[in-house]
């Protein structure tokens, strides 16, 4: 997917769009009226049903054409539980099959690395573009998205407050088009190395937005990504700024959370010293889905939002003028959320399950914390000891300190309350020197937890 021929093809498509206008940039999308698949935030009609859909390749007739797409349903799917849903769009000359399989990087990179991180908590969809692209003529790709959502949500249990879209290059352009035209349907989008190639019908309402772009992108210049980002900086009411970006040759990345954004509608910008790729690696000019930081950062961005009828507090609610680089020696959680200073409430009764996905010198660990007590926990900290040789490089949904040895994970601003019976998911990415085992014991607010 990172071969030069693909880059050249994307560049040719971009030049065609920008110079001849054969694909209308503003008028190619369908109507912005939400489809019936995307009504008010609630569990969908598929909840409680025995599903007819199965994981694998699917077809649907939409806009008079037969279109294909791939569906991945979590193992041990529970039709009484509303699931998060992520649509991942491929790049020019890419395919849904490569998104689904992870291509040459394998399963660690399936759905841009998010499937592995999801630990069976998410329904994934990989649509196939016409001619392996997202020209979105007369809004047909938006209608395709609407129709797939309608079909899935009539059959499966989906949390309609937890729909997300993402994609790289042409797929990033399609994700941006979704943000413009379906702002009340999708909770957030992640646009990797994008440009306005698939249109922007509407584009005036807020959507939680994350943009990722290389500073010397030779296919879609970073100025394209900045332009897309700035539309949602404005829509989301954020304070305009020029985020710090890494210098060429530094082989690093810098992540900036905008301040002043409307509650629930953060904007995050991740610039890296690299070219046109969704999987840059710090300290190297090579790319690898197994070692990139992008998957953990996008997963952190998506999972910050809590279920419910109203958007959760924005991680940018506490203004901060200084952007933060990631990863750092002590990984941070969501961009500017802060842990509760003094946990209180609750009996401390808890159950923890941890799942590790490891590769040669790295791993990700997903931790589910359940309050098994009889009262609400207001502010929490989870302590555990990492095996020797493991060092956390990045984390999500908690603030982790220190990065090795006995670690304390503290809640961030949007997930400090745990009602009886509720489960909070956190996680981190780490390096290891051979021992990729998970911790054997956990304590919540000082009280030992049952380990599932």
pLDDT tens digits for range 71-99: 999 999 999 999 999 999 999 999 999 99
Domain boundary among 269, 304, 339: 304
Q: Quickly state the pLDDT bin for 307 (edges 50, 70, 90).
A: low
Average pLDDT for the chain: 84
Report which of residues 169 and 16 the model is more confident about. Answer: 169
Q: Tens digit of pLDDT for each residue in 32-44?
A: 333 333 333 468 9
The pLDDT of residue 394: 80
Q: What is the mean pLDDT of residues 218-243?
A: 97
Q: What percentage of residues in the chain have a pLDDT greater than 70? A: 81
Q: Quickly state the pLDDT bin for 363 (edges 50, 70, 90).
A: confident
Same domain, residue pair 175 and 291 = yes
Residue numbers of the domain that contains 380: 350-451
Same domain, residue pair 91 and 178 = yes
CA 4/CA 8 separation, integer angstroms: 6
Domain boundary among 267, 282, 304: 304
The pLDDT of residue 7: 43
Same domain, residue pair 135 and 60 = yes
In 129-187, beta strands by DSSP E: 158-168
Longest CA span, the chain: 66
The pLDDT of residue 39: 34
Same domain, residue pair 66 and 183 = yes
Q: Check: CB of residue 112 under 8 Å from CB of residue 298.
A: yes
Residue 232 belongs to a domain: yes
Q: What is the mean pLDDT of residues 379-391?
A: 96
Q: Quickly state the pLDDT bin for 450 (edges 50, 70, 90).
A: very high
The pLDDT of residue 318: 29
pLDDT of 9 over the 90 cut: no
Least confident of 155-159, 244-248, 317-321: 317-321
Same domain, residue pair 355 and 298 = no
Q: Quickly state the pLDDT bin for 330 (edges 50, 70, 90).
A: very low
Q: Tens digit of pLDDT for each residue in 277-287?
A: 999 999 999 99
Prediction pTM value: 0.68
Residue 323 belongs to a domain: no
The pLDDT of residue 298: 97
Same domain, residue pair 363 and 295 = no
Q: Quickly state the pLDDT bin for 222 (edges 50, 70, 90).
A: very high
pLDDT of 431 over the 80 cut: yes
Give 167's strand partners: 89, 191
The CATH number of residue 398's host domain is 2.60.40.290
Q: Quickly state the pLDDT bin for 317 (edges 50, 70, 90).
A: very low
CA 271/CA 252 separation, integer angstroms: 9
Same domain, residue pair 180 and 271 = yes
Residue 146 belongs to a domain: yes
Q: Quickly state the pLDDT bin for 366 (edges 50, 70, 90).
A: confident
The pLDDT of residue 385: 97
The pLDDT of residue 393: 86
Q: What is the mean pLDDT of residues 421-443?
A: 91
Q: What is the mean pLDDT of residues 365-392?
A: 94
The CATH number of residue 110's host domain is 3.40.50.1820
Same domain, residue pair 176 and 281 = yes
> Any residues with CB less than 8 A from the CB of 78 and at least 6 apart, and which?
157
Q: Check: CB of residue 444 under 8 Å from CB of residue 422.
A: no
The pLDDT of residue 134: 98
Same domain, residue pair 134 and 264 = yes
Q: What percentage of residues in the chain have a pLDDT greater than 90? A: 70
Give 124's strand partners: 72, 86
Cα separations in angstroms, 158 against 48, 143, 424? 11, 19, 18
> Any residues with CB less than 8 A from the CB of 418 and at least 6 apart, and which?
346, 369, 371, 376, 377, 380, 424
Residue 249 belongs to a domain: yes
Number of structural domains, the chain? Answer: 2
Same domain, residue pair 287 and 150 = yes
pLDDT of 440 over the 90 cut: yes
Same domain, residue pair 221 and 361 = no
Q: Check: CB of residue 125 under 8 Å from CB of residue 69.
A: yes
Chain center to CA of 195: 18
308: left (phi over 0), alpha (psi -120 to 50) or beta: left
DSSP state of 238: P
Domain boundary among 270, 288, 304: 304
Same domain, residue pair 208 and 89 = yes
């Amino acid at each position: 997917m990172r071969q030069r021929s693909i880059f050249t093809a994307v560049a040719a498509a971009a030049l065609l769009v920008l110079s001849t206008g054969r694909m209308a940039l503003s008028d190619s999308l369908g109507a912005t009226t939400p489809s019936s698949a995307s009504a008010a935030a609630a569990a969908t009609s598929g909840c409680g049903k025995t599903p007819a859909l199965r994981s694998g390749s699917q077809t649907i007739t939409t806009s008079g054409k037969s279109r294909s797409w791939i569906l991945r349903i979590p193992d041990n799917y529970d039709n009484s539980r509303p699931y998060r849903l992520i649509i991942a769009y491929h790049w020019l000359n890419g395919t849904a099959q490569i998104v689904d399989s992870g291509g040459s990087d394998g399963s660690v990179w399936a759905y841009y690395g998010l499937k592995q991180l999801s630990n069976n908590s998410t329904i994934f969809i990989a649509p196939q573009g016409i001619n392996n692209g997202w020209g979105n003529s007369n809004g047909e790709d938006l209608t395709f998205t609407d129709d797939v959502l309608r079909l899935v949500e009539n059959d499966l249990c989906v949390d309609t407050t937890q729909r997300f879209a993402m994609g790289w290059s042409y797929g990033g352009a399609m994700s941006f088009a979704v943000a413009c035209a379906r702002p009340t349907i999708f909770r957030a989008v992640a646009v990797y190395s994008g440009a306005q190639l698939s249109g922007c019908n509407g584009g005036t309402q807020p959507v939680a937005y994350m943009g990722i772009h290389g500073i010397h992108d030779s296919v879609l210049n970073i100025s394209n990504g900045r332009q897309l980002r700035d539309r949602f900086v404005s829509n989301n009411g954020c304070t305009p700024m020029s985020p710090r970006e890494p210098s060429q040759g530094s082989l690093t990345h810098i992540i900036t959370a905008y301040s002043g954004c409307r509650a629930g509608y953060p904007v995050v910008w991740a610039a890296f010293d690299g070219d046109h790729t969704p999987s840059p690696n710090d300290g190297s000019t090579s790319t690898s889905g197994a070692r990139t930081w992008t998957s953990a950062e996008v997963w952190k961005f998506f999972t910050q939002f809590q279920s419910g009828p109203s958007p959760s507090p924005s991680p940018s609610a506490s203004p901060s003028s200084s952007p933060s680089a990631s990863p750092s020696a002590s990984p941070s959680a969501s961009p500017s959320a802060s842990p509760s200073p003094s946990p209180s409430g609750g009996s401390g009764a808890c159950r923890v399950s941890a799942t590790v996905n490891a590769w040669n010198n790295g791993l990700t660990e997903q931790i589910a914390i359940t309050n098994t007590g009889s009262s609400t926990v207001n502010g929490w900290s989870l302590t555990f000891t990492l095996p020797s040789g493991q060092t956390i490089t990045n984390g999500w949904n908690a603030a982790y300190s220190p990065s090795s040895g006995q670690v304390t994970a503290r809640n961030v601003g949007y997930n400090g309350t745990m009602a009886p019976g509720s489960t909070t998911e956190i996680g981190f990415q780490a390096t290891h020197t051979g021992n990729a085992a998970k911790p054997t014991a956990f304590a919540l607010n000082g009280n030992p937890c049952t380990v599932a």
